[in-house]
Amino acid sequence: MCYDIKASYEAQLQRALKAGDMRAVKEIEEKLLPLTDLPLYHTSGFSHPELLIYTDRSHFYPEVATWGLIPHWIPDGTAAKNIWNKTLNARGESIFEKPSFRHAAHSQRCVLYIDGFYEHHHHDGSTYPFYIYRKDHLPMALAGLFSEWENEEGGLTRTFAIVTAKGNALLAKIHNNPKLEGPRMPLILLEAQVMQWLNPDMDVAGLQALVQPCPEHLLTAYTVGKLRGKAYPGNVPAVSDPVVYTELER
């Protein structure tokens, strides 16, 4: 699963910066970044933060969206609030089958860039958070789905879900929640795959072929302080600092 992430200004602007249009980047910084909750040293999807996503209608100019997808067919605000905690993640293997995701899977895919994500490891009845990131320290490009929902007053809300895949060997060591069938991880796209994911003409078979675990050699991880409860420091830079748990070294 992917419920906890780190996203800096620099990571979120990664795709815009690649285009080399610094006037556009300045406009994004002035007009869009103030509408987000960035920087996010740690955030949980359950707090529904505002982030930047890139879509096929704006490959290098992002849009602001709320984490927690609200399908376009949701009838009212009460139903919207009831569903968006359940649509933070979209299981990649079934996005073309699930009613909440299939419309977006066909025609409203997006990519978001983050610094890394957090997962919890279970050991002797306790949980220990790990921070997972790219070894080369480049931002991760995550596959997503987005939706635009119109509320009763005619207002438009743009939301997204992070697509997940089976966990690789690294995640198998970390993400060992006994309640789950196996480890999961966000669908991390390699640079060549980003345009494939955003391509509106990509067929279902081609998209499903992209739903694979990220190669283990690209990632690394370490333990961090608690992300839940009284010991949680909040959204501060130190939240992703390494913390050693001697009980895990035995």
Percent of the chain at pLDDT exceeding 90: 87
Mean pLDDT in residue range 194-201: 96
Query: In sequence order, which residues have a C-beta less than 8 Å from that of residue 92 and are 6 or more positions away?
Result: 143, 163, 164, 165, 187, 208, 211
234 found inside a domain: no
231 found inside a domain: no
Mean pLDDT in residue range 205-220: 97
Q: Are 149 and 157 in contact (CB under 8 A)?
A: yes
Which token pair is 88?
Answer: 């933070």
Mean pLDDT in residue range 71-78: 94
**The pLDDT of residue 154:** 78
pLDDT bin (cut points 50, 70, 90) of residue 114 is: very high
Q: Are 198 and 59 in contact (CB under 8 A)?
A: yes
Question: CB neighbours (10 Å) of residue 249?
Answer: 7
Ramachandran category for residue 124: left, alpha or beta (phi over 0 → left; psi -120 to 50 → alpha): left
The overall average pLDDT reported for the chain is 94
- Pairing mode of beta strands 109-114, 140-150: antiparallel
94 found inside a domain: yes
79 found inside a domain: yes
157 DSSP β-pair partners: 149
245 found inside a domain: no
When divided into structural domains, the chain yields a total of 1
- pLDDT at position 105 over 80: yes
**24 Cα distance to chain centroid:** 24
Sign of CA dihedral 212, 17, 33, 7: positive
Q: Are 113 and 11 in contact (CB under 8 A)?
A: yes
Mean pLDDT in residue range 107-119: 98
229 found inside a domain: no
177 found inside a domain: yes
Helix or strand or coil: residue 179?
A: coil
- pLDDT at position 126 over 90: no
244 found inside a domain: no
**The pLDDT of residue 111:** 98
Q: Is the pTM of this model over 0.85?
A: yes
Question: CB neighbours (10 Å) of residue 52?
Answer: 26
Question: CA dihedral in degrees (64, 162, 41, 52; nearest 10)?
Answer: -20
CATH number where 45 lies: 3.90.1680.10
- pLDDT at position 66 over 70: yes
Range of the domain at 117: 4-222
Amino acid at the residue 69? L
Query: In sequence order, which residues have a C-beta less than 8 Å from that of residue 242 and are 6 or more positions away?
Result: 222, 223, 224
Which of 70-74, 142-146, 150-154, 222-226 is least confident?
150-154
**The pLDDT of residue 221:** 97
Query: How is 104-130 classified by DSSP, letter by letter?
Result: HHHH-EEEEEESEEEEEEEETTEEEEE
